[in-house]
Chain A
Amino acid sequence: MSTGGGPLTDGPALRSQALAGEPLGIPIIDAHSHLLSPSMRDVFVPYAEPAQMVATMDVYGIDSACVSVLGAGDANAETMEAAAAFPGRLIGFHLINPRYPGSMLEDLEASFAQPGMRGIGEVHPTSYHHDYPVTGPNYRAAWEFAAARHLPVLIHSGPRSEAHRCRPDDIGRVAADHPQMNVLIGHAGGYDSWEMLDEAIAVTRRLDNVYLEICAMGRHYGALEYMVAKAGAEKIVYGSDAPFHDWSAEIAHVALAKIGDDAKAAIFGGTMTRLLGAAR
Chain B
Amino acid sequence: MSADFPFFDANCVVGRTVRPLPTAMLHEPADILAELSAHGVPEALVAHANAIERDITAGNAKAAELARHSSATVHPAWVIPQHSALDIPDPGEFVASMLRHDVLAVRVPAASYHGHVVDEWALGPVWRELEAHRIPVLIDGSDLSRYPDQPSRGFSAANIHQLCGTFPQLPVVLLRINFSCLRIIVPLLRECPNLRVEISYFTAHRGLEQLVRHVGASRVVFGSGLPWTPPGPALASLLYAEISPADKALIAGDNLRGLLSDVRR
Contact = CB atoms under 8 A, between A and B. Distances in A.
Interface string B203-228: 11111011000000000000001111
B179 A43 contact: yes
B237 A246 contact: yes
A1 interface: yes
B129 interface: no
Nearest to B36: A6
Interface of A: 1-2, 4-8, 18-21, 42-48, 56, 59-60, 159, 161, 191-192, 194, 218-223, 225-226, 242-253, 255-256
B39 A2 contact: yes
A32 to B, nearest CB: 14
Interface stretch (B19-27, B90-98, B99-107, B119-127): B19-27
Interface of B: 1-3, 21-26, 31, 34-40, 147-150, 179-180, 182-183, 201, 203-207, 209-210, 225-230, 232-233, 235-237, 239-240, 242
Nearest 7 pairs between A and B by C-beta? Answer: A222-B23, A2-B40, A4-B38, A6-B38, A21-B239, A252-B232, A6-B34
A48 B206 CA distance: 10
Contacts of B209: 46-47
Given A18-B232, A21-B239, 17 more contacts: A4-B37, A8-B35, A19-B2, A21-B1, A44-B183, A44-B204, A46-B205, A47-B206, A159-B149, A192-B150, A219-B229, A220-B23, A222-B21, A225-B23, A248-B203, A249-B237, A252-B230
A186 to B, nearest CB: 14
A5 B38 contact: yes
Contact of A221 (B1, B23, B147, B210): B23
A6 B23 contact: no
A219 B201 contact: yes
Q: Which secondary structure dominates where chain A touches chain B?
A: loop
A256 B24 CA distance: 15
Contacts of A46: 205-206, 209-210
18 contacts: A7-B34, A19-B235, A21-B2, A43-B180, A159-B150, A218-B230, A218-B233, A219-B201, A219-B230, A220-B23, A220-B228, A222-B25, A225-B24, A243-B205, A244-B179, A246-B237, A248-B237, A250-B233
A243 B206 CA distance: 8
A248 B233 contact: yes
Contact of B232 (A42, A191, A246, A253): A253
B236 A249 contact: yes
Considering residues B39, B227, B229, B232, which has the most beta carbons from chain A within 10 angstroms of its beta carbon? B232
Contacts of B242: 59
Given A219-B233, A246-B206, A248-B236, A2 B2 contact: yes
Nearest to A227: B23
A248 B150 CA distance: 23
Contacts of B230: 218-219, 221-222, 252-253, 256
Contacts of A251: 236, 240
B150 to A, nearest CB: 7
B166 to A, nearest CB: 28
A246 B204 contact: yes
A242 B39 CA distance: 24
Considering residues B3, B31, B206, which has the most beta carbons from chain A within 10 angstroms of its beta carbon? B206
A198 to B, nearest CB: 8
Given A194-B21, A244-B205, A7 B31 contact: yes
